Chains A and B, each alone.
Chain A
Amino acid sequence: MPTVLGIVLIAFLLIHLAPGDPVMALAGEHGDAAYYEFMRERFGLNRSLPDQMLTYFARVASGDLGMSYVHGRSTASLIMERAPATLLLTGSALLLAVIVSIPLGAFAARRPHGSWDVSISGAVLTLYSAPAFWLGQLAILAIALKLGWLPVQGMTTAGDTQSGIMRALDVARHLILPAMVLASQELAVLVRLTRSGLIDELARDHIRTARAKGVTDAAILIRHAMPRALLPAVTVIGARVGQLIAGAVVIEIVFGWPGIGRLLLTSLQNRDTPLLLALFLVVSFTVVVANLLTDLVHAALDPRITLR
């Protein structure tokens, strides 16, 4: 919690001390000076900075994240509206990355430094090295436009009024490309963790014993080695949350996905200070919680570690 407060304090100062005036963005063209004065007063922007800061933190403490200048609604409700889309995108990407990375990692670990290992490691690293927006646009061009398999943009078919299972399927169809591109950025880390974890694990005594007893390779992999080897992979996920959200900003713009990454960008352009601060608060809070959860999960899974 102090961490989150520290972050919001940094954000508050950065936003308020930087040049630029939210009212200028709000009013647009052809306003007059009296109009700006009037709007500044409405939003309390004519008060001193410490005064504004105290009011802001008092309100946050009471659970009120403020009203957006541009939308005229509470920032909390705006974020809640958009959060599910981002959760769906990042969640599916993560899940996809984990699901794909396990067999890839296992394949690579079977014969370390063999040709499978080298090709898999090389491929995932190459994916990681390409900028995400570049991959995304390439995917749109090739898979959505040229082949026509999947939609180019959005989360649902425009104007679609279906509900229930048909709607879920429609969303799924729109989700595939963005989730794949976002997942490709996570693959490198996960494949390598799985792989190295498995190599270490397969070299252990109890595995050798099992092997000597004639247990098949597949059974050893699935029953004995996998659970322990996945530990680092599972726990690294928590630390990736910040990166994942950053990746989502870019992917949401490329694919027109209606999540909070885009909300951030527009509130930045509009200089919608309350919304910007609320987003900062929510994102950093998520990162802190994810880190905490990771530590807990890690401690629970690994008896060697005790929490301080």
Chain B
Amino acid sequence: MVLDSASLPSAPASGRIAGAIGLVLIGVIIIAALFAPWLASADPFDLAGPALAGPSPNHIMGTDAIGRDLFSGVLYGTRTSLLIAITVGALASAFGVTIGMIAGYYGGFADDFLMRMTELFQVLPRFFLAAVAIALLGPGVDRVIVVLALTSWPVLARVVRAEILALKQLDFVLASEALGATKFHLFKNVFLPHVLPAVLVLVGLLMGQVLLTEASLGFIGLGDPNAMTWGTLAGQAQGFFRVAWWLALFPGLAISATVLGLNLIADALSSRVQNPAGISATE
């Protein structure tokens, strides 16, 4: 079975530099998110200046149509967007790893049932589902997280399951079982450390996808006006493409840089990991 989407397979190991670039990008983004209140020149929802003013010393990324400071918006947007991406990553890996380990280890009926579920959720058209959920329930960060997490875990579950299938035949696993190690011990101390690198790589890629999906939702007008996110900002920039280039440019750059950073790091990681099962294109 083929992996979903942007599970971009292994990177060139000139990756060391690439990985470093990725780390720098993500580092900057994380600092921006953590220190947003100190870095921002204004509250992102307040009227901070004239409407549609271009970048200037007062507003280094300019202001939007109603006079809010874009730099502050992008900074706070970093917080919300990263929060969305991280939460989805965490939820998806929690589901994916648990289900994958159970299916792989126990096999039989549990495996069949869980893999059927996995198939169902894997083919759910993610973007459609997210759009439908938001259009029907109203915009909100929470439902974006739920829908994206719900449609993202299957990839992880499949990879983890494959790893476990290979792993459980190995001598040291059989030995520790024979020595009476508890299942919990086995899962936590043996299986988890083994699958973790592959999972981390996939989660990095997944977070990139989440950011792009969130931006696309903002573009089709399904962003949450109460939450400053990059997607909301990119969506608001729509009507101003010709008169206020800065509104589209800066949020777009923030998204691109973060997705690029996440992918570079994931690549670097995957070339370090000895042939992790999930990182080849096929199972």
A contacts B: CB pair < 8 Å: yes
Residues of A within 8 A of B (CB): 2-3, 6-7, 10-11, 14-15, 18-20, 108, 112-113, 117-118, 121-122, 125-126, 128-134, 137, 141, 188-189, 192-193, 196, 232, 235-236, 238-240, 242-243, 245-246, 249-250, 253, 264-265, 268-269, 271, 276, 279-280, 283-284, 287-288, 291, 294-295, 298, 305
Q: Give the contact stretch, choosing among B34-42, B177-185, B255-263.
A: B255-263
B124 touches A7 (CB 8 A): yes
Query: What A residues does B126 contact at CB under 8 A?
Result: 242, 246
User: A10: which B residues are within 8 A, CB to CB?
Assistant: 124
Q: Closest B residue to A127 by CB, please name it.
A: B256
Check: B11 CB closer than 8 A to any chain A CB.
yes
Main secondary structure of the interface of A (DSSP, over half): helix
A15 to B259, CA, bound (A): 32
Interface residue? B196 (CB, 8 A): no
User: Is A250 a contact of B219 with CB atoms below 8 Å?
Assistant: yes
B181-209: which have CB < 8 Å to A? 208
Q: Is B212 an interface residue (CB 8 A)?
A: yes
B137 pairs with A126, CB closer than 8 A: no
Q: How large is the interface on B (under 10, 10 to 19, 20 to 34, 35 or more residues)?
A: 35 or more
Do A242 and B125 touch across chains, with their CB atoms under 8 A apart? yes
A-side contacts of B260, CB under 8 Å: 125-126, 129
**Interface of chain B: mostly helix, strand, loop or mixed:** helix
Selected from A250, A283, A291, the residue in CB contact (under 8 A) with B125 is A283
Sample (29) of A-B pairs whose CB atoms are under 8 Å apart: A7-B123, A10-B124, A14-B136, A18-B136, A113-B13, A113-B14, A118-B12, A121-B11, A126-B260, A129-B256, A133-B219, A134-B215, A141-B241, A189-B6, A189-B8, A192-B9, A196-B9, A196-B10, A232-B280, A235-B281, A239-B5, A246-B128, A250-B216, A250-B220, A253-B219, A253-B220, A268-B132, A280-B128, A298-B2
Q: In the assembled complex, which residues on chain B have CB atoms less than 8 Å from the CB atom of A112?
A: 12
20 additional A-B pairs beyond A108-B12, A141-B241, A283-B125, beta carbons within 8 Å, are A10-B124, A15-B136, A18-B136, A122-B18, A129-B255, A129-B257, A130-B252, A131-B212, A131-B219, A133-B234, A141-B242, A192-B8, A232-B9, A242-B4, A242-B5, A245-B125, A245-B128, A246-B127, A249-B127, A284-B124
Smallest Cβ distance from B212 to chain A, in angstroms? 6
Partner of A284, one of B125, B220, B252, B280: B125
Provide the residues of chain A in CB contact with B3, threshold 8 Å.
236, 239
Give a binary string over B121-158; 1 marks a CB under 8 Å from any A CB, 0 the rest.
00111111101110111000000000000000000000
* Across the A-B interface, the 5 shortest Cβ-Cβ residue pairs: A246-B127, A18-B136, A129-B259, A113-B14, A232-B281
